[in-house]
């Protein structure tokens, strides 16, 4: 069973908005989609902008700097769904928004970051 840590209150994040919070030595963006809260890595892997500051609609957040879009349900980059950023398990207890503390502090879940996704068919492969 996972341990959870309170990171915000329900009233802190209006519907259709996001908020960056510090959690487990990193910044996490929490989004409110009509009372359903989702959490992803706050830093856009392209140039490091805060995703919490991006436009959020229909479960998709768009980076405010260069319009990279991410699905907050699974962390996938909308332009290439094979690539992902970290997502975090969220629960609401009373008026507290809580995130699951990962068992392994090195990763938030099984998602891979964009910067670490250089598979065998990706440019820059040592075998090219």
What the block records as the tokens of 53 is 């500051």
Q: Looking at the predicted structure, is the pLDDT value of residue 127 above 80?
A: no
pLDDT tens string 104-122: 754 444 443 444 443 444 3
**Does residue 47 contact residue 66 with C-beta atoms inside 8 Å?**
yes
pLDDT tens string 25-64: 999 999 999 999 999 999 999 999 999 999 999 999 999 9
**Does residue 15 contact residue 34 with C-beta atoms inside 8 Å?**
yes
Three-state secondary-structure class, residue 61: strand
**Does residue 55 contact residue 17 with C-beta atoms inside 8 Å?**
no
């Amino acid at each position: 069973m996972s341990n959870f840590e309170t990171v915000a209150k329900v009233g802190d994040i209006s519907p259709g908005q996001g908020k960056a919070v510090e959690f487990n030595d990193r910044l996490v963006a929490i989004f409110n989609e009509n009372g359903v809260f989702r959490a992803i890595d706050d830093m856009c892997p392209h140039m490091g902008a805060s995703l919490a500051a991006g436009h959020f609609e229909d479960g998709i957040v768009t980076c405010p700097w260069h319009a990279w879009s991410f699905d907050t349900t699974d962390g996938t980059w909308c332009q290439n769904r094979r690539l992902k950023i970290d997502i975090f398990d969220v629960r609401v207890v009373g008026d507290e928004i809580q995130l699951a503390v990962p068992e392994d502090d090195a990763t938030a879940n099984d998602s891979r970051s964009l910067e670490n996704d250089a598979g065998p068919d990706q440019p820059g492969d040592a075998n090219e």
